[in-house]
Every structure is written in structure tokens, then in C-alpha cells.
């Protein structure tokens, strides 16, 4: 848990867990990381305005939100998007109707997919039916 929190705070979510089955970067981790960073930022700015009586902090707060919350979230989403594209090209799941690219999961098994972990091991692969 502490490791995950540190990963979120330090923006190093583009790796996989040691088990190879769970991606470290998903849409859920991007949202969670953004909320944690925003909460820490709000509490910090609240403390600064209260203790130091620095009440003209809104412009600074706005800049900090962009730099600490929105930009990292955008960067993480870009990395997530790149990793899903790479996964689509390198695994059979990319051409399977059960692959949910928005969450990088198999909807049939409700499990994350990585290059090292294909939940069905190819048995339940089905092509898209248009």
C-alpha cells in the first residue's frame, strides 16, 4: 500500500507489478493519483493561507493545480494510451472482441491483460464481429 502511494506521488506508474499480471498504470490510478495530489495541494494551500495569512493565493493555487494535478494526469494518460497501443499490437487480445482497451482488461475474465499475462491463454479468443 505504501509502495503504491509512493508510486502515485512520484509519477512512476508506467511499470508493471512484479507479478507481471497487473499493469501499474490504468485509468483508475490516474484518477486516484490526481485526487491524492489535489487533496494534498488543497490542504497545503489552506494551511499556508491560514498560518501565514497569505490570502492572495488563488493565482498561485491555480498554477499549482495545473502543474501538480492536471499535467501529470495528462502525461500518465498519454503513457497509458501508448501502453495499450503497444499491448494491442503485441498480444492476441488486441484483436479480440473481449478486450476493453479503455481499462486494459478482458471483459470475459474481468482481469487486467499484460504482455506477460493473457487470462485465457488464447483459448477464448474471438474476433470482432462487425
What residues make contact with ligand SF4 under the rule CB under 6 A? 92-93, 96, 98-99, 106, 108-109, 113, 118-120, 124-125
> Smallest distance, Å, CB 64 to ligand SF4?
40
Of residues 79 and 92, the one with the C-beta less far from ligand SF4: 92
Contact 114, 87 (CB under 8 A): yes
Of residues 37 and 112, the one with the C-beta less far from ligand SF4: 112
Report which of 69, 101, 97 is spatially closest to residue 83, judged by C-alpha positions: 101
Of residues 17 and 108, the one with the C-beta less far from ligand SF4: 108
DSSP secondary structure code for residue 114 in this structure? B
> Smallest distance, Å, CB 78 to ligand SF4?
23
Burial of 84 (0-12, 13-18, 19+ CB in 10 A): buried
CB neighbours (10 Å) of residue 53? 7
Report which of 106, 107, 103 is spatially closest to residue 83, judged by C-alpha positions: 103
What pairing do the DSSP bridges indicate for beta strands 105-106 and 111-112? antiparallel
> Smallest distance, Å, CB 112 to ligand SF4?
10
> Smallest distance, Å, CB 102 to ligand SF4?
13
Amino acid at each position: 500500500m505504501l509502495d503504491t502511494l509512493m508510486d502515485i506521488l512520484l509519477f512512476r506508474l508506467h511499470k508493471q507489478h512484479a507479478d507481471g499480471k497487473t499493469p501499474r498504470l490504468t485509468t483508475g490510478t490516474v484518477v486516484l493519483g490526481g485526487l491524492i495530489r489535489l487533496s494534498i495541494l488543497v490542504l497545503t494551500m489552506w494551511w499556508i493561507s491560514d498560518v501565514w495569512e497569505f490570502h492572495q493565493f488563488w493565482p498561485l493555487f491555480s498554477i499549482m493545480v495545473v502543474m501538480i494535478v492536471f499535467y501529470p494526469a495528462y502525461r500518465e494518460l498519454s503513457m497509458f494510451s501508448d501502453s495499450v497501443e503497444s499491448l494491442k499490437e503485441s498480444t492476441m487480445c488486441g484483436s479480440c472482441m473481449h478486450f476493453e482497451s479503455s481499462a486494459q482488461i478482458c471483459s470475459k475474465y474481468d482481469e487486467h491483460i499484460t504482455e506477460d499475462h493473457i487470462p485465457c491463454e488464447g483459448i477464448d479468443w474471438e474476433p470482432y464481429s462487425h
